[in-house]
Amino acid sequence: QLQLQESGPGLVKPSETLSLTCTVSGGSINSSSYFWGWIRQPPGKGLEWIGSIYYSGGTYYTPSLKSRVTISVDTSKNQFSLKVSSVTAADTAVYYCARRLVRGPTIDYWGQGTLVTVSS
Amino acid sequence: QSALTQPRSVSGSPGQSVTISCAGTSSDVGGNNFVSWYQQEPGKAPKLLIYDVNKRPSGVPDRFSGSRSGNTASLTISGLQDEDEADYYCCSYAGSYTFVVFGGGTKLTVL
């Protein structure tokens, strides 16, 4: 059974960089059938797609966040990572890592989510 | 790209049917066959309910069904049960196959 687990600091100061890692177990990140992505959900609000990465390194970011977001992959560790720079309180959210099918916006596996709070 | 439009809340009594709409444009919902729906219980990660407009993953009860008419997709839950009380989100491509957009979410209350 595929499992995804987010890890990283739960508290980040304003203007600093938020960094999270997703570790994939029970399956390989080296697959041509999937994208590996990040989604966030501010407290009490809806889901927002952040972006995704292909195992070969190709990245796709939502336009509103593109200037501040970097997603990378480490196939040797079966991990992929998210960095969001110059964070503000508006970046406070539960961050989910997930697996998305290449052939459609179908997200079939999700991590449990991790709350990141931006505060001084 | 803008979020897809869903009603903020719907409600129904046990045993009834409810339908949640997801309105988009010809660039997203109406422009491809890849609409998906997710159920999110409080404090939990979303769970895939419907993909490719009307397909159910294994393990999802057939009480859940999806459809689309023009630029609006719909999720219908028949034989409503108490455990169906949750938030529901639709999802589609947005303009190109590399961008994904969610609906704003609908809270289902079982009366």
Q: What is the dihedral of CA A51, B46, B30, B57, to 10 degrees?
A: 110
Say if B95 is an interface residue toward chain A (CB within 8 Å): no
Contacts of A46 in chain B (CB under 8 A): 3, 89, 102-105
Mean pLDDT of the region A81-93: 97
- CB–CB contacts below 8 A, A to B: 65
Q: pLDDT (tens digit, 9 = 90+) per residue, A34-69? A: 999 999 999 999 999 999 999 888 999 998 999 999
Say if A44 is an interface residue toward chain B (CB within 8 Å): no
d(CA B84, CA B40): 10
Nearest-CA neighbor of A66 among A79, A49, A54?
A: A49
Q: Cβ separation of A49 and B102 shorter than 8 Å?
A: yes
Nearest-CA neighbor of A38 among A22, A17, A23?
A: A22
Residue pair B100/B28 in contact by the 8 Å Cβ criterion: no
Q: pLDDT (tens digit, 9 = 90+) per residue, B12-69? A: 999 999 999 999 988 888 888 899 999 999 999 999 999 999 999 999 999 999 999 9
